[in-house]
């Protein structure tokens, strides 16, 4: 089972700029996704998700780091990507997958809350 946390308008771009000051640059990484394996066995997750909302369904395959990743029990893997703010505001659900095709649908609420007031939008979800 996966536990997923979404953080919109994350400060990850500033952090990655600092860590890669002399090398690779990662611009506009404003969506941070934490995926935790709550199960007893490793789970493989592909480097993409679907965003569903007023626009229909749109696949995002631009996650960083790219490719399929193995997440061992209890571990957390962080993914990053650019998310268009107007598209995000029209989104209702983010669908993440594991290597076996299991869907993890995370509802996105745009109601005002403490984290949004500080520039972040955090949502938790389980399959």
Q: What is the model's pLDDT at position 11? A: 55
Confidence of residue 117 (pLDDT cuts 50, 70, 90): very low
What kind of architecture, by CATH, is found in domain 2-126?
Answer: Sandwich (2.60)
Confidence of residue 24 (pLDDT cuts 50, 70, 90): low
Whether the per-residue pLDDT at 8 is higher than 90: the answer is no
Q: What is the model's pLDDT at position 22? A: 55
Burial class (CB in 10 A: 0-12, 13-18, 19+), 25: exposed
DSSP 87: H
Whether the per-residue pLDDT at 28 is higher than 60: the answer is yes
Q: What is the model's pLDDT at position 72? A: 98
Sign of CA dihedral 98, 102, 103, 106: negative
């Amino acid at each position: 089972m996966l536990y997923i946390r979404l953080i919109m308008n994350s400060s990850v771009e500033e952090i990655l700029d600092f860590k890669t000051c002399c090398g690779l640059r990662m611009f506009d990484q404003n969506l941070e996704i934490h995926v935790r394996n709550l199960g007893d066995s490793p789970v493989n997750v592909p480097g993409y998700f679907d965003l569903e909302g007023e626009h229909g369904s749109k696949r995002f395959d631009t996650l960083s780091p790219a490719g399929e990743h193995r997440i061992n029990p209890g571990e957390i893997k962080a993914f990053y990507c650019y998310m268009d703010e107007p598209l995000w505001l029209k989104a209702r659900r983010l669908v993440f997958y594991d290597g076996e095709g299991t869907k993890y649908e995370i509802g996105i609420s745009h109601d005002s809350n403490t984290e949004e007031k500080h520039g972040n939008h955090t949502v938790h979800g389980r399959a």
